[in-house]
């Protein structure tokens, strides 16, 4: 996907490295007591992040808006649904107008 182009493309690009932080570390660093919404557009890393943030999602129960991506030739929507359903979320697909990729909206089932 877009973020991986730099790793596989040999042309001289103006790439820069940036620091990143996990959701768990972000909560700890800023002493967050609540999270209402998380928006993810992370170019195919959705499932990795969702799995690593499972305890955070269970604790804070934020609503989620996720743009799934094609990973290994397949749109990862089913895997995103499976992970979130296992955590107690209810998921629905939202079309993005004319764009090919849908959004997943998830809220904690009550």
pLDDT at position 9: 55
At 25-53, the pLDDT tens digits run 999 999 999 999 999 999 889 999 999 99
Please count the structural domains in the chain.
1
Give me the chain's average pLDDT, please: 88
Residue 6 falls inside a structural domain: no
pLDDT in tens, 67-106: 999 888 899 999 999 999 999 999 999 998 888 889 999 9
Which pTM was predicted?
A: 0.82
In a domain? residue 97: yes
Residue 106 Cα to chain centre, angstroms: 11
Residue 79 lies in a domain: yes
Q: Give the domain CATH number at 73.
A: 3.40.50.150
Parent domain of 28: 22-108
- Is there a domain that residue 12 lies in? no
Please report, in angstroms and rounded to a whole number, the separation of the first and last CA atoms in the chain. 35
Provide the 8-state DSSP code for 51: H
Query: Which helix (DSSP H) or strand (DSSP E) does residue 6 occupy?
Result: helix 5-8
pLDDT at 13 over 70: no
Alpha carbon separation from 17 to 46, 49, 99, 107 (Å, rounded): 20, 19, 29, 33
Parallel, antiparallel or unpaired: strands 63-66 and 103-108: antiparallel
Q: Does 15 map to a domain?
A: no
**Has residue 2 been placed in a domain?**
no
Measure CA 8 to chain center. Answer: 22
Is residue 11 predicted with pLDDT exceeding 70? Answer: no
81 within some domain: yes
Asked, for residue 50, whether it belongs to a domain, the answer is yes
């Amino acid at each position: 996907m877009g973020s991986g182009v730099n790793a596989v493309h040999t042309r001289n690009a103006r790439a820069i490295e940036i620091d990143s932080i996990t959701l768990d570390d972000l909560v700890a660093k800023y002493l967050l007591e609540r999270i209402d919404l998380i928006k993810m557009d992370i170019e195919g890393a959705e499932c990795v992040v969702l799995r690593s943030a499972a305890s955070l999602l269970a604790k804070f129960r934020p609503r989620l808006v996720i743009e799934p991506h094609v990973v290994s030739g397949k749109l990862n929507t089913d895997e995103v649904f499976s992970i979130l359903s296992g955590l107690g979320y209810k998921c629905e697909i939202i079309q993005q107008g004319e764009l090919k990729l849908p959004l997943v909206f998830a809220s904690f089932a009550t």
